[in-house]
Amino acid sequence: MVWLTVCNMVLWQRVLPVCLLVTVICCGIRLRGVPVRGMHRVLRDTYGAVFRRGCDTKQKQIFASALAATMGTGNLVGTALAIMTGGAGALFWMWVSALLGMILVYAENVIGMMFRRTAADGSIIGGALGYLRYGTDSRIAAALFAVFCTVSALGMGNMAQSSTITQTLSHYGILAPVSGIVTAVLLLIILRGGTDRIGKVSVWLMPILCGFYLLGCLILLIRNAEMLPSVFLRVIREAFGFRAAGYGFCASYLLHTMSIGLRRGIFSNEAGLGSSALLHMHADSGDAAMQGKWAAAEVFADTVICCTATAFVILTAPQPVYLNAGDAAGLLLYAFSDGLGKYASLFLTVCMVLLAFATMIGWYPCGAACMRYLFGSGAVTVYLTAYILFCFAGALGSPDWIWQLCDCCNGLMALPNLYGMCRLSHMLPRQSGEN
Helix %, strand %, coil % of the chain (to 5): 80, 0, 20
Of 101, 100, 88, nearest in space to 257 by CA = 88
What structural domains does the chain harbor?
A: 37-423 (1.20.1740.10)
Distance CA 155, CA 53 (A): 36
HSE-up of residue 383 (Cα within 13 Å, Cβ side)? 27
Query: Looking at this protein, which amino acid is placed at residue 265?
Result: G
Q: Rounded mean pLDDT of 218-241?
A: 89
Query: Is residue 428 within 8 Å of 107, Cβ to Cβ?
Result: yes
pLDDT value, residue 181 = 94
Query: Is residue 105 within 8 Å of 284, Cβ to Cβ?
Result: no
pLDDT value, residue 264 = 65
Query: Is residue 364 within 8 Å of 155, Cβ to Cβ?
Result: no
**pLDDT per residue over 278-294, tens digit each?**
988 888 777 888 999 99
Distance CA 202, CA 358 (A): 7
Of 194, 217, 369, 366, nearest in space to 306 by CA = 217
Given a cut of 50, whether residue 46 has pLDDT beyond it is yes
Q: What secondary structure, in 3-state letters, does 185-236 show? A: HHHHHHHCCHHHHHHHHHHHHHHHHHHHHHHHHHHHHHHCHHHHHHHHHHHH
Q: Rounded mean pLDDT of 63-79?
A: 80
Given a cut of 70, whether residue 250 has pLDDT beyond it is no
pLDDT value, residue 247 = 47
Given a cut of 60, whether residue 63 has pLDDT beyond it is yes
Query: Is residue 162 within 8 Å of 361, Cβ to Cβ?
Result: no
HSE-up of residue 125 (Cα within 13 Å, Cβ side)? 25
pLDDT value, residue 244 = 46
Query: Is residue 145 within 8 Å of 131, Cβ to Cβ?
Result: no
CA 235-240-243 angle, 5° bins: 70
Query: Looking at this protein, which amino acid is placed at residue 264?
Result: R
Q: Rounded mean pLDDT of 15-26?
A: 87
DSSP annotation of 300 reads I
Where b means 16+ CB within 10 Å and e means fewer, 328-358 reads bbebbbbbbbbbbeeebbebbbebbbbbbbb
Of 20, 204, 197, nearest in space to 96 by CA = 20
Q: Rounded mean pLDDT of 198-203?
A: 87
pLDDT value, residue 195 = 81
Distance CA 331, CA 78 (A): 11
pLDDT value, residue 256 = 60
* Strand 124-125 relative to strand 117-118, pairing: antiparallel
Query: Is residue 59 within 8 Å of 283, Cβ to Cβ?
Result: yes
Q: Rounded mean pLDDT of 258-263?
A: 67
The model's confidence at residue 262, banded by pLDDT at 50, 70 and 90, is low
Query: Is residue 155 within 8 Å of 8, Cβ to Cβ?
Result: no
Given a cut of 90, whether residue 187 has pLDDT beyond it is yes
Tally of residues, the chain: 435
Q: Rounded mean pLDDT of 163-187?
A: 89
pLDDT value, residue 246 = 43
pLDDT value, residue 285 = 76
Which own/partner pairs from 12-20 qualify as long-range (CB within 8 Å, at least 24 positions apart)? 12/263, 12/407, 12/411, 13/259, 15/411, 15/415, 16/272, 16/411, 16/414, 16/415, 17/262, 19/414, 19/415, 19/418, 20/100, 20/104, 20/266, 20/272, 20/414, 20/418
pLDDT value, residue 266 = 67
Given a cut of 60, whether residue 321 has pLDDT beyond it is no
Lowest-confidence segment of 81-85, 180-184, 352-356, 399-403 by average pLDDT: 399-403
Expressed in angstroms, the distance from the first to the final Cα of the chain is 49
Distance CA 23, CA 27 (A): 6
**pLDDT per residue over 30-44, tens digit each?**
998 888 888 888 888
Burial class (CB in 10 A: 0-12, 13-18, 19+), 147: middle
